[in-house]
Amino acid sequence: MSRLTGINAWIAVVFIAASAEWGQSQSPDSRAAREATGAITGRVTIGGKPVAGLTVALLGPETNPPPSPLSKTSTDDEGAYRLTRLPAGQYRVVPFGPALVIQDEANPAQPGRRVSVADGETVDKIDFALKRGGVITGRVTDTDGRPLTGQRVTLIRIDARGQKPVDWLINPPMYVIDDRGIYRIFGLPAGRYIVSAGEAASAGLTRIGNAAGYHPLTFHPSVTDATKATVIELEEGQEATGTDIVVGAVMQTFEASGRIIDAESGRPVPNILYGWAAAGPDGKTNQGYTYGYQANSRGEFHIGGLVPGHYAAFVVYDRASDLYSEPAVFEVINADVKKLEVKLQRGGVVTGVAEIENTGDPAAWQKLREMEITSSIVYPGFPVPRFSSSRVSADGSFKFVGVHPGTIRLALSRRVPLKGFRLLRVEHNGADQTDGFAVGPREEVTGVRAVLSYGTAVIRGQVRVEGGTLAAGARLQVSVRLADSQSPRPIATVEVDGRGRFTIDSLAPGQYELTLATASSGAPAVTERALAVNDAETEVALVLNLKPKEKEGPQ
């Protein structure tokens, strides 16, 4: 199974509910609504000429695709666009043009430009130069010449860091082989690619639709050894044709079945939701999971369309239940797997209280009752998803039940964002346990405190690079921590935009330490202090010096 590159397919999917998402994604904070007066403007061109009628999307700063678009607009006859009514914050601006790519795009996985906007600020000249993307097309058939209609091809891009599946965007229809056996992938940046069809044995994958068979993984030009695959050298706007693949005979897929039972009584648990996860060749690495299926009235479950590989079946977590399941790990070799048992056990209980530090603002305490806290579990064994959430009650308390033994970590929910709040630390019996605390089998853990800050202070900054030039694609990040805190852990980390600007909001009043770092520059981190004041913006300058230090001579 495969995913696609290019700004075209990615934005096409996330545009579906753009207008509605804008309202839903905003905090209910009325102050933010009043200050939604920022704007971003720019121009889009191809070969120096304006592009009219092109969609430009405004996204949040999230890096995990596909983020929901916050807003969108279109370019005018001069190629100009304008995104307006923006609250202060960090955004990503992405132009959308089928078969087009952004010129000199350093990171196709996160296309576009990051932009930091202050209250009422208009950020101009966020311009984009686009170019025609490349095309790879060919025909995929079996040994009898029959097309592999409805199946998908996989694209791998080869760069200086090695081979990487092109998996940063949503699977679009153009990855699907048509009724003639033809595929056509467009909007590709110039580069080196390998294309394949079929699936690898021991890959730990489930065939879509529980198909009864699969074709062995085959690379262009019809070889099963990846080292013998032909590398496609794709130039800007080039169409690579004739990248045909002939796959081998259909290989059999298999099934797994079993029961979900209560570990204590051995009795089946009916009608419960279950899922399964695929593993890598080592049998331990989670390669992605599927869930949402329901066992029958006898607690029986069934998983079809499995290629050889390692898997784990598990019960989907229900935050209202005090039960959890250990994953039933199994391997498919050359036969169906039967009589699996997923055992449900009583989990632990974690109770605590959310508190705001150093504020007497009644409005802040009222908003706290709208908050949701999430938990994740890290534990030995096969990694299956273990996430849950708890709404903060009227007295500030929260509770998690059915907790799997392991290390639990708490965070503020992104699903219910509340402007102004930051999680400072998590305490258990007075000790800092922000990095996680242990929960034993059936243990009842009390005395947990989620300590929050609340504030309306903003720190905005400008990064200036001296003594050299950053490498293309280099990412600068600024982390912030309370200056008088005993913990070196930052309470927030943001990325610097293309203009060298950054914004950190929702800060409580106080002295903060800001640290600028980039993994790719080789330069030491830069640290500065800034005083944050409620309902005000503090400006700070950070200078990154790339000039190598001169070596000291002999003394």
Using alpha carbons, select from 99, 47, 49, 40 the residue that is nearest to residue 70: 40
Residue 66 in 3-state DSSP?
Answer: coil
Q: Tell me how far apart the alpha carbons of residues 97 and 106 are, in angstroms, rounded to a whole number.
A: 18
Note whether 34 and 97 are same-domain residues: yes
- Please give the pLDDT value at position 321: 83
Q: Is 550 among the domain residues? A: no
Cis peptide before 221 (omega within 30 of 0): yes
Q: 246 and 142 in one domain?
A: yes
> Residue 25: its pLDDT value, please?
35
SS3 530: strand
Measured between alpha carbons, how far is 391 from 371 in angstroms, rounded to an integer?
Answer: 6
116, β-bridge pairs: 90
Residue 480 counted as domain residue: yes
Q: Is the domain of 240 the same as that of 140?
A: yes
Give the domain CATH number at 208.
2.60.40.1120
Contacts of residue 488, defined as CB under 8 A and 6 or more positions apart, other chains included, come to 481
CATH of the domain at 71: 2.60.40.10
Indicate whether 553 belongs to any domain: no
Domain boundary among 393, 423, 454: 454
489 and 470 within one domain: yes
- Give the number of domains in the chain: 5
Q: Do 382 and 352 reside in the same domain of the chain?
A: yes
Q: Is residue 551 part of a domain?
A: no
- Would residue 92 count as lying in a domain? yes
Is 218 among the domain residues?
Answer: yes
Burial, 159: exposed, middle or buried (Cβ in 10 Å; 0-12, 13-18, 19+)? exposed
Q: Do the domain assignments include residue 169?
A: yes
Are 261 and 328 in the same domain? Answer: yes
Residues 468 and 508 grouped into a single domain? yes
Residue type, 82: R
- Residues 208 and 321 both lie in one domain: no
Instruction: Based on the fold, state whether residues 54 and 154 are members of the same structural domain.
Output: no
CB 257 within 8 A of CB 338: yes
- In this prediction, residue 65 carries a pLDDT of 46
Do residues 21 and 107 both lie within one domain?
yes
Residue 519, domain extent: 457-545
Give Cβ neighbours of residue 118 (< 8 Å, ≥ 6 apart).
Answer: 38, 88, 458, 460, 503, 537
What is the residue-level pLDDT of the chain in tens, covering all 555 positions? 333 333 443 333 333 333 333 333 333 343 444 458 899 999 999 999 999 999 999 988 765 545 567 889 999 999 999 999 998 888 999 998 878 889 877 766 678 898 998 888 999 999 999 999 999 999 999 999 999 998 889 888 887 766 666 644 444 677 889 999 999 998 888 889 999 998 876 555 555 444 567 888 999 999 999 899 999 999 999 999 999 999 998 888 899 999 999 999 999 999 999 999 888 777 676 767 787 789 999 999 999 888 888 899 999 877 778 889 888 999 999 999 999 999 999 999 999 999 999 787 888 888 888 889 999 888 877 777 777 889 999 899 999 999 999 999 999 987 766 789 999 999 999 899 999 999 999 999 999 999 999 999 999 999 999 888 887 767 899 999 999 888 888 999 998 988 899 999 899 999 999 999 876 656 678 999 999 999 999 999 999 988 876 665 565
Structure token pair of residue 248: 């081998």
279 plus 234 within the same structural domain: no
246 in a structural domain: yes
DSSP letters spanning 131-190? EEPEEEEEEEE-TTS-B-TT-BEEEEEEETTEEEE--SS---GGGB--TTSEEEEEEEPS
pLDDT of residue 270: 94
Residue 109 confidence (pLDDT): 65
Task: Examine the domain organization and report whether 80 and 174 are in the same domain.
Answer: no
Task: Report d(CA 322, CA 419) in Å as an integer.
Answer: 32
Domain boundary pick from 318, 346, 374: 346
Q: Which of 323, 346, 369 is the last residue of a domain?
A: 346
Any idea what DSSP says for residue 317? P
